[in-house]
Structure formats: structure tokens, C-alpha cells
């Protein structure tokens, strides 16, 4: 079998890790660094966050594009050549990092940390009642790889957990809801709501005034999906009325936000700069190596994206 070639288009610092892993563990696969000045590549495989604009010219023999994230909403799927398979990154380290962040955020809301931080800034000493995790219901929107792992971890901490997704899912110990018709029932008990949905035409702007009104009064919000899920003006209004008591956000509609962005300085919002999870270069490289070898053996690829659904 001839040697395979993977074209790499991403951060050069991470690329050095990819180069080391491929040299040590995959001598059967050549790693070629993409350059805008280089002639068209014969590579059958490409890994990139943003692929070259003229993909058909840059890599005319391309068969598989490996995305460097769990989501593909940043890609123009219609621009990809029709015969190219698109594979999402499902990295165990990425999943663990996301679960860590979700647990931190839910526990911070559960233990009133945003309120205590506001008290500290104002010089107040005001203890609040401590609730048991079993007495709080957490809802997870999106039950893919990341959402399922987060729901299971929250369940194992003792929270009452419910999950919502577009299609039917079954997770032991988690009350699962599916489809638009089930959304009101799902939301009605969610004292903390976690968004881990993919960003699609259907989910864009889903976290809006109508959805916030369906939550119990004073619910908390965690968004680790995409900034486009939230109608930010509606969230500000819900925070102002107390319908949403506090929000922990890792993503915004525009990143980085302007210094005067109202959510950036809101006293009941905790913001992080899109760092909830990240693909780790060594484990990501090994995932791609395994996938290339499966593909060359004629086996079906895992974690492929359905372009019609965009996930």
C-alpha cells in the first residue's frame, strides 16, 4: 500500500506536536504542512480549522477533511467538494475539559458564587442557605458526545438531571426529552440550564425571551455552545427582571467583545474567553491517525458530519 499523505493547515506550534506524533507513531502517513504558495497537493486527507478557500484546487485528490473542533458551524459546508467526507474531532481530552467546565459552572451557580462575588465587590458579608445538589434540577440542551458526558457527570454529583435534544436519546438516570414539542415541559423544571447544542439554523437564537420565560423564575444559565445560541438583548432583559438570576458564558455572539459590551461588565455574569474546552494536539493527532488507517482499510469513518443537519 502506498504511503498516505495528510495536509496540515493550522497553528504551527501545535503543528510541531503533530509532526512529532506522526514521525514517532505513523511512519506510514506523511504529514505535509499547507502553504498558500505551494502547488496543489496530492493529499487524500486534510486537517484544518478553516480549510483553504479553493479546496478543489489546493487539494484536488482530497477524500476526507478532519475538522479541528467538535462543531463545524464555522465552516461553509456548501463550499466543500461533494465527494469529500467531513469528520468532527471527538477527542477524549476535549470531552473531559468540557465536563470540567460544565461542572465548575453549574456548581458555581448552585453555590451562589456570582452573588457572593458581587457581595465581595460591595463589601457585604451575607451568607445564603446551602442547598443539596439533589434539590436542584439541571437541564442539558444537546445530548451529543459532550452533552451526554456532562449530563452523566452532573447526575453522578447528585443533581436531578434532564436532557433535551432534537432526536430521542436514552441516558440512565437522566430524564430525556426530544423535539420542539417537548421543550416547554423540559424547561419548566430547569433551575440551571446548560447549552451544549450545535449551532444550526434551527438552534441559532434559541436562547431567547420566550425560552427564558419558560424557565423557573431565578434560573441560572450556562452557555458553552456558541454565542449565536443566545439573543443577548433578551438575556440582558431576563437578568434585569430576575427571571435569570445569573449566567456563566464561555461564548458570545462577537468574539472578542467590545470593552463596553454590557455582558462583559454585568455584575451577575461570569465570562470566560471561549476556553471551556480545546482540542489537545497529541491526542487529536492520534485520533486522525486511527481514522486514516480505518479509511485506508475500507472501514467506515466515525464521527462523520451529516451536511444536511450540519452536525
Catalytic residues: 226, 274
Residues 89 and 96 sit within 8 Å (Cβ to Cβ)? no
Quick one: three-class SS letters along the chain? CCCEEEEEECCHHHHHHHHHHHHHHCCCEEEEECCCCCCCCCCCEEEECCCCCCHHHHCCCCCEEEECCCCCCCCCHHHCCCCCEEECCCCHHHHHHHHHHHHHHHHHHHCCHHHHHHHHHHCCCCCCCCCCHHHCEEEEECCCHHHHHHHHHHHHCCCEEEEEECCCCCECCEEEEECHHHHHHHHCCCCEEEECCCCCCCCCCCECHHHHHHCCCCEEEEECCCHHHECHHHHHHHHHHCCEEEEEECCCCCCCCCCCCCCCCCCCEEECCCCCCCCCHHHHHHHHHHHHHHHHCCCCCCCECCCCCCC
The HSE-up count of residue 254 (CA atoms within 13 Å, CB side) is 9
Amino acid at each position: 500500500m502506498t504511503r498516505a499523505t495528510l495536509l496540515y493547515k493550522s497553528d504551527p506550534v501545535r503543528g510541531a506536536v503533530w509532526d512529532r506524533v506522526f514521525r514517532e507513531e505513523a511512519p506510514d502517513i506523511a504529514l505535509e504542512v499547507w502553504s498558500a504558495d505551494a502547488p496543489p497537493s496530492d493529499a487524500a486527507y486534510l486537517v484544518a480549522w478553516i480549510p483553504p478557500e479553493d479546496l478543489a484546487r489546493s487539494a484536488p485528490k482530497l477524500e476526507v477533511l478532519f475538522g479541528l473542533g467538535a462543531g463545524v458551524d464555522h465552516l461553509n459546508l456548501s463550499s466543500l467538494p461533494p465527494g469529500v467526507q467531513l469528520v468532527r474531532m471527538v477527542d477524549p481530552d476535549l470531552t473531559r475539559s468540557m465536563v470540567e467546565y460544565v461542572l465548575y459552572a453549574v456548581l458555581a451557580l448552585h453555590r451562589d458564587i456570582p452573588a457572593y462575588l458581587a457581595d465581595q465587590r460591595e463589601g457585604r458579608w451575607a451568607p445564603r442557605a446551602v442547598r443539596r445538589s439533589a434539590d436542584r434540577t439541571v437541564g442539558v440542551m444537546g445530548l451529543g458526545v459532550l452533552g451526554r458526558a456532562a449530563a452523566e457527570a452532573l447526575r453522578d454529583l447528585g443533581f436531578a438531571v434532564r436532557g433535551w435534544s432534537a432526536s430521542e436519546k436514552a441516558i440512565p438516570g437522566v430524564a430525556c426529552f426530544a423535539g420542539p414539542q417537548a421543550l416547554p415541559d423540559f424547561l419548566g423544571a430547569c433551575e440551571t440550564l446548560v447549552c451544549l447544542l450545535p449551532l444550526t439554523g434551527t438552534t441559532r437564537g434559541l436562547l431567547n425571551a420566550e425560552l427564558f420565560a419558560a424557565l423557573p423564575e431565578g434560573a441560572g444559565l450556562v452557555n458553552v455552545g456558541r454565542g449565536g445560541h443566545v439573543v443577548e438583548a433578551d438575556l440582558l432583559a431576563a437578568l434585569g427582571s430576575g427571571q435569570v438570576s445569573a449566567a456563566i458564558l464561555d461564548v458570545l455572539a462577537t468574539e472578542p467583545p467590545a470593552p463596553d459590551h454590557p455582558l462583559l461588565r454585568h455584575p451577575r455574569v461570569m465570562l470566560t474567553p471561549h476556553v471551556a474546552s480545546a482540542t489537545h494536539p497529541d491526542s487529536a493527532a492520534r485520533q486522525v491517525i486511527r481514522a486514516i488507517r480505518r479509511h485506508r482499510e475500507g472501514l467506515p469513518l466515525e464521527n462523520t458530519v451529516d451536511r444536511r443537519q450540519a452536525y
